[in-house]
Structure 1
Amino acid sequence: MTDKSIDNAIVDPKVYASVDGFHELFAKLRKEEPVRWTEPDGYRPFWTVSKHADIMEVERQNDKFLNDPRLTLQTIETEEQVREFTGGSDKLIRSLVDMDNPDHRNYRGLTQAWFMPPNLKAIASRVDALAEKYVDRLEQKGGECDFVSDVAVWYPLRVIMTVLGVPEEDEPIMLKLTQELFGATDPDMKRSEESTITVNTVTEFFNYFTAITEDRRANPKDDVASVIANATIDGEPIGHVEAMGYYIIVATAGHDTTSSTAAGGLLALMQNPDQFAKLKSDPDRYLPGAIDEMIRWTTPVKHFFRTAAEDYELRGKKIRKGDNLLMCYWSANRDEDVFDDPFTFDIKRSPNKHLAFGYGAHLCLGQHLAKMEIKALYKELLARLDHIELAGDPAWVEASFVSGLKRLPVRYSMKRKAA
């Protein structure tokens, strides 16, 4: 590959949908140019950071490397659309992941307790019941289904909507908007209209959650939507844009990444029957490690950007103040210097220092909830699944930011449910 073709491949959504192609590209980068100046066609230039140690070095210094103003890969055309729509701003929304301190610390503190283990114990029985419900749905499908569209996308969606306070009948619109937002570059998921795809999707999110805000201010409930709607910082209500961003990040990241792990983990187990057999032999013993390995393996959030607040040297490269750095988490989670046999799916992997939840101040707020959901689903699934195999070719979302499987056709048999 030429230098330009490498740069273009780094941003190409189709590369992210070709698992082997992605890992071949980034293995080469880790070996030959782990911090690479990248100038792809149609994008503003940036540094591609592909190794685990370098990403950790950047992430732990959140005073020197900022989330604002550039957070994800967007074409120059899309960036111009956003600025036109917002009247000059680089962002359609302003959520936790866009913020730096002190805003990040203050806004994260509004809901952090909701997503910590002590509070999650209170909803554990509801999560278990939902896991049982969606494994029931698998059984009702009669031995063949698409695990992604029939089970994996709906179960974590119901969990996070329960926490947020969105009624079950509104889940289809939440799923549709999430898939359009994260899959805007995928021909199967993007909106049908040609222009301002992301702008229109975010507008629909704003309209929906504006109504939620008005309702929760008038009728507060014991849910996260009420916390956001009535939140104050330093005695002042949070801004409308910040509130909308909060809803959107909870509603979207709170289920899409978990569904990607649940489905990608099942595919990995089917492709590694020895690991599947080991997990089924003693779920209590092996499931915690298997969950972390599923998360490492799939790494649903493929990247975030950071912007240098000052000049800095990283692995001998001169990073200039204002330069953008692409943190490639999926690559870091295959780093040969950190993981023994990184391309082997190993449910006993220990330690498993994956970066799928990020690192440092921006460590994923929902990581404990995500692990709880996956554990509940697989505990139920392993107890009732007798056999499962692929019933067709899996397919991945064509997206460079948040992505995973979009199709996983399976054929299976299940044990009769205990009365």
Structure 2
Amino acid sequence: MSTTEQSTELIPETIARQIVLPEGHRDNDALFAAYAWLRDHNPLGRAVVDGYDPLWLVTKYADIMEIERQPEIFTSAGGEYKGSVNPILANQAGDAFTKSINNGSLRILETLTYLDPPEHTAIKDIALDWFRPQNLAKWETVIRDIARASVARLLATDGKVDFVKDFALQYPLHVIMSLFGVPESDEPRMMALTQEFFGSADPDAARADVAPLSPDAAAQQWVATIQDFYAYFEALLQDRRANPREDLATVIAMGRDPNGEFYPNEMYYGYFIAIATAGHDTTSSTLAGGMLELGRDPEQLARVRGDLSLVPHLVNESLRWASPVKHFMRTATQEYTLRGREVHAGDRFMLLYQSGNRDAEANPNPDSFDPQRRPNKHIAFGYGPHMCIGQHLAKLELRIMFEELLPHIESLTATGNTKFIQTNFVGGLKNMPVSIEFRR
């Protein structure tokens, strides 16, 4: 590669830092401006940021799709790359810490994120049928009862609430824990661990047992939180093996490998962690993001409130808009030409789902929140074999909540500054102070 080619691929440092660094994600306006600049000027560019390995930033919908559908070329962390690359971006100090306490491996969790087919397929299949729409339909009454109770508690307030902390966080947490089989009394513990897990780079979610501001602090918190999850889920695993129930925890605990044997316990812990974290955090971020935009456009709010058949489209638009899963990493296993640029085995790619969902080539007028958008080509759940196993449950939860909530909302007005979680991985609104006028 010539020096000229390298220079045209290189992303300006300010843009690269805005996207790569967790602190760049506190300012949503600046973050999406950086995404837009890249889509317009350098849609597949090389980012060089101090403290991080060089990587490609993938900002266009089509390029993300091309990578996602070819796990044999762009691995999550499988095959010869098992344990040597991280499917979640961490800085060099963080990866070094993980290797130091994990026998030289970055595969700190035995979960779908770190796997590729066929291993990925076999483990995903353990719970795949449970997450199919025809099975989830039998849980709709349970979910709707939870939604109605949540709305009733909101209606009992004066309408001056933090929509994230007082409402959006609680509903999907209670849903997934109820279906999963975690006692309601343990839900606060699951919420705290989730916030520590996804907020490992956010000072507001820092653990007391992790030294703040050290280069590997985020990785230390990640590992410490995983260990706490393991301690909790060991008891859950053993209980479901001894006392099977009609819940998701039992389905996973009873899952076996293709030879009919149980997997190592760490695989079950990893599965449980994925359900207990992404199973609610992403849904609450989407709910809050969608309601904030409806509140900003009273005509759209009135239109959807008056025609609840639009709610499924509102759900998809909220997912596109919020895109709470911000990235996953992929590693090239061979030479490949992507968007006219030659990439090499070992090159790493940060798939920027938020940017892909604002790509005008996939979704015209992408910076307008349109609850009637059809078609809606969002990739909030990823694509290909790594497409989110819980997507149908998330959509069901969101549809039910919007159906139950919107008929009671005359208006929703932001009353203070909203803040976003400091993370480049999974997250959304941290707070959302609002004043709600209810329809009585």
How does the TM-score come out when normalised to structure 2? 0.92
- What is residue 267 of structure 1 aligned with on the other side? 292
Alpha-carbon contact 2:17-2:24 (below 8 Å) kept: no
1:13 has 2:22 as partner: yes
The alpha carbon displacement at 1:385 in A equals 2.0
CA distance 1:382–1:2, shift in 2 (3 Å): closer
**Displaced runs of 4 or more, over 6 A:** none
Matches within 5 A, 1:161-240: 161-192=177-208, 193-194=210-211, 195=217, 196-233=220-257, 234-240=259-265
AA aligned opposite 1:301: V
The alpha carbon displacement at 1:361 in A equals 1.2
The structure 2 residue matched to 1:58, chosen from 52, 67, 76, is 67
Alpha-carbon contact 1:293-1:352 (below 8 Å) kept: yes
AA aligned opposite 1:83: K
- Matches of 1:375 and 1:228, distance apart in 2: 26
Query: SS state of the match for residue 392, structure 1?
Result: coil
Alpha-carbon contact 1:390-1:408 (below 8 Å) kept: yes
The alpha carbon displacement at 1:186 in A equals 1.2
Once structures 1 and 2 are overlaid, which stretch shifts more, 316-325 or 251-260? 316-325
The alpha carbon displacement at 1:145 in A equals 1.0
The alpha carbon displacement at 1:410 in A equals 1.2
Alpha-carbon contact 1:85-1:199 (below 8 Å) kept: no
- What is residue 137 of structure 1 aligned with on the other side? 153
- What is residue 340 of structure 2 aligned with on the other side? 316
- What is residue 384 of structure 2 aligned with on the other side? 360
CA RMSD of aligned residues (A): 1.4
- Matches of 2:121 and 2:352, distance apart in 1: 24
- Matches of 2:90 and 2:424, distance apart in 1: 10
- Matches of 2:142 and 2:267, distance apart in 1: 29
The alpha carbon displacement at 1:2 in A equals 7.8
Percent of paired sites with the same residue: 41
The structure 2 residue matched to 1:387, chosen from 393, 411, 434, is 411
- What is residue 136 of structure 2 aligned with on the other side? 120
Query: SS state of the match for residue 129, structure 2?
Result: helix
- Matches of 1:57 and 1:311, distance apart in 2: 15
- What is residue 249 of structure 1 aligned with on the other side? 274
Once structures 1 and 2 are overlaid, which stretch shifts more, 1-10 or 140-149? 1-10
AA aligned opposite 2:61: H
The structure 2 residue matched to 1:47, chosen from 48, 53, 56, is 56
- What is residue 338 of structure 1 aligned with on the other side? 362
Alpha-carbon contact 1:333-1:356 (below 8 Å) kept: yes
- Matches of 1:51 and 1:190, distance apart in 2: 33
The Cα offsets for residues 359-387 of structure 1, whole Å up to 9 and x where unpaired, read as 11111111111011011111111122233
- Matches of 2:246 and 2:102, distance apart in 1: 33
The alpha carbon displacement at 1:15 in A equals 2.1
The Cα offsets for residues 169-213 of structure 1, whole Å up to 9 and x where unpaired, read as 000010001011111111212223315211111110010001111
- Matches of 1:169 and 1:95, distance apart in 2: 26
Query: SS state of the match for residue 341, structure 1?
Result: coil
Alpha-carbon contact 2:18-2:30 (below 8 Å) kept: no
Alpha-carbon contact 1:179-1:190 (below 8 Å) kept: no
Alpha-carbon contact 1:183-1:398 (below 8 Å) kept: yes
- What is residue 82 of structure 2 aligned with on the other side? none
- What is residue 7 of structure 2 aligned with on the other side? none
The Cα offsets for residues 272-320 of structure 1, whole Å up to 9 and x where unpaired, read as 2221121112112x11111100000000000111111111110111111
The structure 1 residue matched to 2:350, chosen from 317, 323, 326, is 326
The alpha carbon displacement at 1:133 in A equals 0.8
AA aligned opposite 2:301: F
The structure 2 residue matched to 1:349, chosen from 373, 378, 403, is 373
- Matches of 1:155 and 1:12, distance apart in 2: 30
- Matches of 1:9 and 1:23, distance apart in 2: 9
- What is residue 70 of structure 1 aligned with on the other side? 86
- Matches of 1:94 and 1:76, distance apart in 2: 21
- Matches of 2:50 and 2:56, distance apart in 1: 15
Alpha-carbon contact 2:25-2:424 (below 8 Å) kept: yes
The alpha carbon displacement at 1:9 in A equals 2.0
AA aligned opposite 1:274: E
- What is residue 153 of structure 1 aligned with on the other side? 169
The alpha carbon displacement at 1:154 in A equals 1.0
Alpha-carbon contact 1:272-1:345 (below 8 Å) kept: no
- What is residue 6 of structure 2 aligned with on the other side? none
